[in-house]
Amino acid sequence: MEQGNYSVGLDIGTTKIVAIIGKENEYGKIEILGTGRSKSLGVHRGVVNNITQTISSIQQAVEQAEVNSGLKIGSVVVGIAGQHIRSLQHSDYITRPNAEDVINDEDLDKLCNQVYKLVMLPGEEIIHVLPQEYKVDGQCEIKQPIGMYGGRLEANFHVVVGQVSSIKNIGRCIKSAGLDLANITLEPLASAEAVLSQEEKEAGVALIDIGGGTTDLAIFKDGIIRHTSVIPFGGNVITEDIKEGCSIIEKQAELLKMKFGSAWPGENKDNEIVSIPGLRGREPKEITLKNLSKIIHARVVEIVEQVYVEIKNYGHEEQKKKLIAGIVLTGGGSQLKHLKQLVEYITGMDTRIGYPNEHLAGDSDEEIASPLYATAVGLLMNALETSAKNTIPEIEAEASQHGEELEEVLVGQEHAQATVKTANAVQKERKSIFDKWSEKLKDFLDNAE
């Protein structure tokens, strides 16, 4: 199979690293060609803290995916999260030299580039600049100003900021694992891509992605991303609490949580007991399920309340900003029993569990359709989008290189003119700011020792 036919998403999580290879089928759905998964060593709360271990975990996942699919992995799209991520709102404007010309892509580029020049705290860098709505000559709430006349173009932006060192460490791990970095994107945005419908984004929805080390939040309203946040708690903290509360080892605590854990203590009766084998010749331990769910409940309530504070900070209680579609839970932590009911009880908002199966082809493996893989599927979707954008400029480059040959081939075809026009149009298509940023990062890594 040619390289252009498939793409790869790589989710570097705190508990697991997932490499997922896929391509788009004729119905626009994603066909999974192979997956690889390895235990994540060297990542703490979404941030790389041991380069060597992370590289080896990435290589394991990638090799497994290559064996499963029989394909070679070249470049990947990676997600970034971690407690260093923060977001802010910013407004900016440009004055156009000639108000008689219609607003075009270059004007939007100029405005976005201006936001990238914002002075950040030392060691921080802007990851995403996401336009929310535009104003043209004082006319508000314009979603797409291209083609309009106007002298002053303003916009509100949602700016996502992260630590330069953390971003470069991820880039270094990818490069050292023998891979190219095609793109880097914020994990809550990738998860949202995989599990939210357009109607939910329009109505207003909060996506809560509960991972091993962090809980990511992304809020959408009127189809636009309004707020993002990364909370430095996840499923691992719950496991840690069980380990300490029941005096057992981590592996047993994780198994207990997954098999018998519940976020609602009222569910279990006092006489429900589970017996855990003791360490090397010691007596087995007996733990009541009621105690277990009390430990889980206390920590989950803390995580959900922190997320709810972020939702309130966005302004959910104002009538205009109300999130009508409520909350969507995804990520490995969302599989905890009775979590949906607890979230509804604390926030009073409608809640559902988000599965990434909507975008997958019908014959996909059931495991991939689990919330555990939501981020990885979202990253794969981003990878396919990125490669689709890059393919047409390549066609255009070839067209100019072998112009005469190409024309001869196209003459007999029905859509010859349309193809050439598309290629020309795409050549003019602006390069997204984020692509430029990715290139800067790649250059930095190439020049590094």
DSSP sequence for 272-307: -EEEEPPSTTPPPEEEEHHHHHHHHHHHHHHHHHHH
Predicted local distance difference test score (pLDDT) of residue 265? 82
Predicted local distance difference test score (pLDDT) of residue 280? 80
Give the separation between CA 177 and CA 57, rounded to whole angstroms.
9
Give the separation between CA 50 and CA 20, rounded to whole angstroms.
23
Predicted local distance difference test score (pLDDT) of residue 428? 42
For 272, list phi and psi in degrees, rounded to 5. Answer: -85, 115
Give the separation between CA 256 and CA 259, rounded to whole angstroms.
5
Give the separation between CA 300 and CA 263, rounded to whole angstroms.
7
For 290, list phi and psi in degrees, rounded to 5. Answer: -65, -45
Would you say how long the chain is, in residues? 449
User: Can you read off the two tokens belonging to residue 255?
Assistant: 């198994």
Give the separation between CA 348 and CA 317, rounded to whole angstroms.
12
DSSP 3-state of 329? strand
Give the separation between CA 86 and CA 215, rounded to whole angstroms.
13
Q: Cβ neighbours of residue 221 under 8 Å, at least 6 residues apart? A: 201, 204, 205, 321, 323
Cβ–Cβ under 8 Å, residues 48 and 54: yes
Angle of helix 416-428 relative to helix 374-401, nearest 10 degrees? 110
The 3-state DSSP composition of the chain as helix, strand, coil percent (nearest 5) reads: 45, 25, 25
Q: What angle do CA 43, 45, 47 make, to 5 degrees?
A: 50
Q: How many CB atoms lie within 10 A of CB 224?
A: 16
DSSP 3-state of 344? helix
User: Can you read off the two tokens belonging to residue 333?
Assistant: 């932590």
Task: Enter the DSSP assignment of 10.
Answer: E
Cβ–Cβ under 8 Å, residues 231 and 305: no
CA distances from 203 to 220, 223, 325 (A): 8, 8, 6
Predicted local distance difference test score (pLDDT) of residue 348? 93
Give the separation between CA 12 and CA 46, rounded to whole angstroms.
8
What distance lies between CA 104 and its chain's CA centroid? 29
pLDDT tens for the 449 residues of the chain, in order: 344 478 999 999 889 999 999 998 888 888 999 999 999 988 888 889 999 999 999 999 999 999 998 899 988 999 988 888 888 899 999 999 988 899 999 999 999 999 998 888 899 999 889 998 899 998 988 989 999 999 999 999 999 999 999 989 999 999 999 999 988 888 989 999 999 999 999 999 999 999 998 999 999 999 888 898 889 889 999 999 999 998 889 999 999 999 998 998 876 677 788 888 877 878 888 888 888 999 999 999 999 999 999 999 888 888 888 999 999 999 999 999 999 999 999 999 999 999 988 888 877 777 888 899 999 999 999 999 888 777 655 555 554 555 444 444 444 444 444 444 444 444 444 445 556 656 666 666 666 54
Task: Enter the DSSP assignment of 378.
Answer: H
User: Can you read off the two tokens belonging to residue 283?
Assistant: 């007596």
Amino acid symbol at 3: Q
Strand ordering across the sheet containing 224-231: 224-231, 215-221, 205-210, 327-330, 351-353
Quick one: which of 442, 441, 447 has its CA closest to 126? 441
Predicted local distance difference test score (pLDDT) of residue 391? 63
Cβ–Cβ under 8 Å, residues 173 and 58: yes
